[in-house]
């Protein structure tokens, strides 16, 4: 509607309430629906991915002010737009492998396109990036002090028939003035060489083997993190990113819709939501419990077309 409206020149999206931009979709509600066979498990992902695609293909300039927590679904409603403005309060993560899901909402498109293997690392470990690091990783396009956002918003709205260029110029001028953490080096800088070599393996088993062989404190920490994640999710995610690296956003979202429905049919998503969000015991019992037990056939199955139920964009 906004795209076709001659009165709309610019779309700005921001969070309410100060703490988060958007911390993600309500997976608890989806898990409850899945347990009773409610069609929300189909409709929620379908509508979400259609929205992600609408943002990714939007002709009007789209500015996301990602001030605060930006995770999962919050990444989906920001990262595909033209501009993403991070602040010192931004906290980015795609923590889905910890709840038996995968970094969806087009994660298979934008994550493998980040420099080196950063996207694979973020996707598999759920590592959190803060503040200026969100810009340095290539997720945000600009960095502005949080307290300057109201002024920025006012200036954006005051632009007369703004073009993408006008908006970029204005964002750049705010970006240049921000000095917060300017001197700090990128949090992953010292580990980039390791991330690029360790996470370039073709299989999860190989990544784990490489991490064990490396044996550095960094590698051991990653092993610890990965060992807590759903083995099924890890395998699905690695393949999702490897395939998504050369696909269009539309094809990625179609693929991810198939994966979402595979997760809704499975065990780990419900168990992950239970362990992290309901009982909060943080001890999910994954099935299968080991990477070796997740067969290639099972993973292949998750990627199969759904016929008439496929996502149509």
Please list the active-site residues.
25, 73, 96, 104
Tokens of 203: 């299989």
Q: Write the burial class of residue 294 (CB in 10 Å: 0-12 exposed, 13-18 middle, 19+ buried).
A: buried
Q: Are 200 and 124 in contact (CB under 8 A)?
A: no
> In 3-state terms, the chain is what percent helix, strand and coil (to 5)?
55, 10, 35
d(CA 256, CA 234): 14
The radius of gyration of the chain from alpha carbons, rounded to an integer in Å, stands at 20
φ, ψ at 108 (rounded to 5°): -65, -15
Torsion, Cα 223 225 227 233, to 10 degrees, reads -120
The dihedral sign for the CA sequence 43, 44, 47, 52: negative
Strands (E), 28-67: 62-66
Rounded (10°) angle between helices 204-214 and 217-228: 150
- Give the residue ranges of DSSP H helices in 160-230: 164-177, 192-198, 204-214, 217-228
Give kind and range of the element (H or E) at residue 153. helix 149-158
* 304, burial (CB in 10 Å: exposed 0-12, middle 13-18, buried 19+): exposed
Burial of 39 (0-12, 13-18, 19+ CB in 10 A): exposed
Name the β-bridge partners of 84. Answer: 64
Q: Quote the tokens at residue 149.
A: 């956002």
């Amino acid at each position: 509607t906004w795209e076709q409206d001659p009165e709309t020149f610019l779309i700005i999206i921001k969070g309410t309430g100060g703490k988060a931009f958007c911390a993600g979709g309500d997976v608890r509600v989806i898990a409850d629906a899945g347990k009773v066979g409610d069609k929300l498990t189909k409709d929620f992902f379908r509508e979400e991915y259609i929205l992600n695609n609408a943002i990714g293909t939007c002709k009007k300039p789209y500015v996301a002010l990602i001030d605060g927590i930006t995770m999962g679904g919050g990444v989906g409603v920001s990262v595909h737009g033209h501009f993403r403005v991070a602040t010192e309060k931004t906290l980015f993560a795609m923590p889905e492998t910890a709840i038996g899901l995968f970094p969806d909402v087009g994660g298979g498109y934008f994550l493998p396109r980040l420099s080196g293997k950063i996207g694979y690392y973020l996707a598999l470990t759920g590592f959190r990036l803060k503040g200026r690091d969100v810009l340095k990783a290539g997720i945000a396009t600009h960095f502005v002090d949080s307290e300057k956002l109201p002024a920025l918003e006012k200036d954006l709205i005051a632009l007369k028939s703004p073009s993408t260029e006008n908006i970029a110029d204005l964002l750049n001028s705010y970006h240049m003035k921000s000095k917060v953490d300017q001197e700090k080096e990128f949090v992953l800088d010292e580990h980039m060489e390791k991330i690029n070599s360790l996470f370039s393996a073709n299989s999860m088993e190989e990544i784990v083997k490489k991490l064990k062989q490396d044996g550095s404190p960094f590698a051991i920490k990653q092993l610890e993190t990965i060992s807590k994640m759903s083995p099924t999710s890890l395998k699905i995610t690695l393949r999702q990113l490897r395939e998504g690296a050369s696909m269009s956003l539309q094809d990625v979202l179609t693929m991810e819709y198939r994966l979402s429905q595979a997760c809704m049919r499975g065990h780990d998503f419900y168990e992950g939501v239970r362990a992290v969000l309901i009982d909060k015991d943080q001890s999910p019992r994954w099935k299968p419990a080991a990477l070796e037990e997740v067969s290639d056939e099972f993973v292949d199955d998750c990627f199969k077309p759904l016929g008439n139920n496929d996502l149509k964009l």
